[in-house]
Structure 1
Amino acid sequence: MARILVAEDDPSVRAFVVSALTMKGHEVLAAEDGGLAAELAEEEQGRFDLLLSDIKMPIMDGIALALEVASKFPHMTILLMTGFADQRERAHGLDALIYDVITKPFTLADLLAKVEDALAGKPVEVVSLARRAMQA
């Protein structure tokens, strides 16, 4: 399975995400803000398959974290999370660096499906179209 770095400042969301990903067999390291996540990425020399980060966090937000991680570890897939529409808009400028943005609140199934798609490198447009067709 994959090595995943989670950056999330909300303790309950962080626990939910870590628990869900661990139960799926992934090795998960978690940080409570972007600054600590950047330090973990550096300490681990970028040995993560995926960075899953909230956008709005203290110390270093998810956008700054994504920029730093992408510049140092371009092989790492980056998936962002947010509950704020304005933050989602900020992330759209990073289309070349990030895989996608998950909108909070999300279900366990949504989270696991998006992480699986990101790890598999499935094109976001294809995934979105397929899901819409299944729901119709």
Structure 2
Amino acid sequence: MYFKDFLANTALSYGVDNFVAPNCVPTKLLKTFRLDSLFFRVTRNIIRVHILEAENLISEDSGKFCPYVVISGAQQKGKTQVAKRSHNPSWNQAFEMRFNDLPMQEIEIALFHHGKGRDRCLNRWKFHVEEVVSQKVIDKVGV
């Protein structure tokens, strides 16, 4: 029995009024009910990424360079603080990313310049999660 069939049978037997919060309808599942039909995944891997610093960044704006980093992966996104007027920013921020499955997953790190009109992307790096786990430390050079 699939979950949608179970839900339809339950809705018909209990009526729609009982599904309005805060009511609760406890129902025993049949032994033949397949739990994998519920489509939920358990977080199995948590990767902590530390964004430390950058050195000798070059900007087109003289003296008003405000860099920050955006990290994304596994449908999650994080952003460091904007380092005001710094060509050698030190963020020292950590982000935890939760992955259900490691194969074929990527982490993207992008370096931005915070400008008056709009933010400008200076460079992007993509890493496979397997590479991050195996190397432990990744140091990218070049903007």
Q: For this structure pair, what is the TM-score category when the shorter chain's length is used for normalisation?
A: under 0.3
TM-score (norm 2): 0.22
Higher strand share: 2
Higher Cα radius of gyration: 2
